[in-house]
Amino acid sequence: MSEQQLIQSDIALSAEEIQQIDAELAHMPQKSGAAIDALKIVQRQRGWISDESLMAIARYLDMSPEALEGVATFYNLIYRQPVGNKVVLFCDSVSCWICGCDGVKQKISEKLGVDYGETTADNQYTLIPVPCLGACDKAPVMMVGDDLHTNLNNEKIDQIFSGQVSTTASTTESTAESTTTSEEEGS
Ligand code: FES
């Protein structure tokens, strides 16, 4: 089947997404080996993985939707619900906890009006806990979008989210809690 035929038969994936997934498949002995990469590629384009996107990826990788859902659920940086314009990945693991991340998290919640799994009312930020961001020597740390913020304190939170008004949040569901950003970066 030609690439054009594939695009037509699998209209939920864009040509660009298929091209990027194919590049990953070139390194894999089995199509299912590209599952996480394919999820990340589509999420990068669409912001999150809808049921429709998941079905399309599963079809393209010759996987069952249930098997791919298992991968997406295991990997906590795959979002199965819509998220804000930027995801705040807040480390609550041991080094950051010792350095006072609980107080920093409370400050963020007050500043943004959200708890874990919630998105600000203006859809700017979604707050999600992560096990470790690999910057333990600069704890407490978090990522806001692609930017790493270190040695956090209340003043830094005010600076980072300056102008943000706390209002009623909406709940956003991320997935499981067993995978680290180090895996994200290394995959
Ligand atoms: S424990 Fe927070 S970055 Fe490692």
Mean pLDDT by 10 residues, the chain (187 residues): 45 91 96 97 94 95 96 91 95 96 97 95 95 96 95 96 70 44 40
Task: Kindly report the CATH class assigned to 3-74.
Answer: mainly alpha
What spacing in Å lies between the alpha carbon of 131 and ligand 1's midpoint? 7
Which residues make Cβ contacts (< 8 Å) with residue 187, sequence separation at least 6?
36, 37, 40
Query: Which of 95, 128, 149 best tests ligand 1's pocket when mutated (most atoms within 8 Å of CB)?
Result: 95
The whole-model pTM stands at 0.76
* Distance (Å) from CA 58 to ligand 1 centroid: 33
Q: Which residues of the chain are in CATH 1.10.10 domains?
A: 3-74
Instruction: Please name which of 138, 145, 147, 133 lies closest in space to residue 180, comparing C-alpha atoms.
Output: 133
Distance from the first to the final alpha carbon of the chain = 29
Q: Is 98 in the pocket of ligand 1 (CB under 6 A)?
A: no
57 Cβ inside 6 Å of ligand 1 = no
CATH code, 86-186 = 3.40.30.10
Residue 2: per-residue pLDDT: 45
What residue ranges of the chain are covered by domains with CATH 3.40.30.10?
86-186
pLDDT at residue 12, as a whole number: 83
Q: For residue range 32-49, what is the model confidence (pLDDT) as tens digits?
A: 999 999 999 999 999 999
The one-letter code for the residue type at 177 is E
What's the gap between Cα 130 and its chain centre?
A: 10
The pLDDT score that the predictor gives to residue 174 is 47
User: What pLDDT score does 119 carry?
Assistant: 95
d(CA 53, CA 60) in angstroms, rounded, equals 11
Evaluate: CB of 130 within 6 angstroms of ligand 1: no
| Range 47-75 burial, b when 16+ CB lie within 10 A, else e | ebbbeebbebbbbbbebeeeebbebbeeb
Cβ-based neighbours of 91, under 8 Å, separated by 6 or more:
101, 129, 130, 131, 132, 133, 135, 139, 140, 141, 142
**Structure tokens that stand for 25 in this block:** 């498949």
